[in-house]
Structures are given as structure tokens and as C-alpha cells.
Amino acid sequence: MTDALRPRRSVLYMPGANERALEKAITIPADALILDLEDAVAPDAKDEARGRVCEAAQSGRYGAKEIAIRINGIGTQWHEADIAAAAKAGPDGVVVPKVSSAEEVRSLVAALDSAGAPATTSLWAMLETPQAMFDAREIAAASDRLAVLIMGTNDLAKELHAQVTPGRQQLQLGLQMCVMAARAADKVILDGVYNAIKDTDGFRAECQQGREFGFDGKTLIHPGQVEPCNEVFAPSEAEIESSREIIAAFEEAEAQGIGVVTVNGRMIENLHVDNARRVLAQADAIAALA
């Protein structure tokens, strides 16, 4: 499975200071976990949490789940120790909050290299500021080691002084700019978190919106959000069946030397076939996790 096809439908933050939570995460059906040293950890617990999170990342006890460590941001008193420890632990990803420029990406990559991070450890950059929205294309293209972009929608709303309402109209410009930047640079991009953990209808609607915008998955703050998120960001049975029909019809037309083909009243072109093949590849990658 290529990195681009690796399912990242549900990416769950887990508090690094909570040993029970890290243990519970073994049984949660998230595609990926972010073991958090930033917002979820009090200042006086960060050193202890760092050791616990790095041990967990190296343990191998999370099976096929992708494991990332979120470190404290550039300029904080914990950043340098965090990035050195995370590099040594060698998780799948190192998540850095509030990345706002291509130069910061290059500096972070240099720090990972200097600390001996294996080639399999990628950088995941959080985009959370107006500056990051304007510079998203340059950030996304700054390094091959940067693999994943993550929307920090809570901080972005704060920076904008925005009152976020259902539909996120206030954030849509930034969300779409970042999706375009990710696609231009061939990076994975994850939608931000949904705070109202008991609002299941609102959460599902935001997952659907994120998928329609083109996000690869969504970051989550509660285990109860994982299964509906997995469902929304996976191809439906109807999509899979339609994709098979499109590919079969197109291949049959090609074999007969026919230049135009229709499926269910729709004219099919190469771009539709490419989309159909991507849907089937996604479905196969998800099935391989089972």
C-alpha cells in the first residue's frame, strides 16, 4: 500500500499524560492516533508525558494503526526536547502545531534529520493561522518529508475572531485554500476537530462536508466519533458498484474501438475512470486493515 492510499479516515488525538487512555487506544478502531504532548498535557506533566508517549510509539502494541506524536510548537520551552525525543522514538509522524511558513517546515525537517529520525517518520504540519492559509501552497511544497497537513480549525477561528456556526461558512475559504494546496503538492490533508462530542448529527454533517471538500479524513477528540467518521470517509457500496460499472463499460468500449461511452445516462471520460479506480483503491486499502 502506498502512503497516499493509506487510510486516514479517522485520526484520534489521545492525551499523552493519561496512561489509561493510551492503553484504551489499542482497541479503538481509528485509522491513526496522535499521541498528544501539546494541548492535552499540563505544563508540569509534559516531561513525564514525553517519555510515556515515546515508549508507546515504539511499543508496536497498536497494530496497523498509524502512530504520530504531537509535540509542542516552535518557540515553546518544550519544543527542542520534544522533537529530539520524538525523532528518536521514530513514529510514523511528528505533528507540529501552528506551522505558518515554508521556512518553518524546512527548519523542522532539519531538526528531525539532525536528531536521527528514520526516513519512515514524516512531518505532519498543522495549519492554524491566517498566515498559514495564505502560505499553504508554499508550506505544502516545502519538503518531501512533509506528508500530512492538518487543519487547526479551533485556533483558526480564534485568530479570525470568527463565531463558527453549522456549515462553517466563516472558515470555508481557508479550508478550501488548504485542500487545493495539498492537492497541488500531492499531500494528505485532514479536517479539523468537532468540539460538540454529543452532537452526533452535527458531527456527521461536518464529516460529510469535509469529504465533499476533498479532505482525506478528520481529526477527532473522542472515541465515539471514530465509527461514524470511518463510515462517512469510506466509499459507500453504491459508490463502489458505480465505479465498477464505469470501469467495465469504459474497458469494453475501448476493446471495441468505441470512443464514447455512457453509464446510467452519463457520458464517461478518462477523468471519471480515474476517479472510479481511486474509489476502488480506497476501498481495497480500507478492507486490508480488517
3-state SS, one letter per residue, for 57-97: HHHCCCCCCEEEEECCCCCCCCHHHHHHHHHHHCCCEEEEC
Angle formed at CA 241 by CA 245 and CA 238, multiple of 5 degrees: 135
Listed as ranges, residues in the chain with pLDDT below 70 are: 1-2, 4
Nearest to 63 by CA among 87, 31, 34: 31
Q: What is the pLDDT of residue 245?
A: 92
Q: What is the pLDDT of residue 4?
A: 67
Q: Spell out the domain ranges in the chain.
A: 3-232, 237-287
Which residues on neighbouring strands pair with residue 67, listed in sequence order?
33
Q: What is the pLDDT of residue 152?
A: 98
Let me know if domain 3-232 sits in CATH 3.20.20.60.
yes
Contact 69, 57 (CB under 8 A): yes
Q: Indicate the pTM of the whole model.
A: 0.94
Count, residues in the chain: 290
pLDDT per position as a tens digit, 104-124: 999 999 999 999 999 999 999
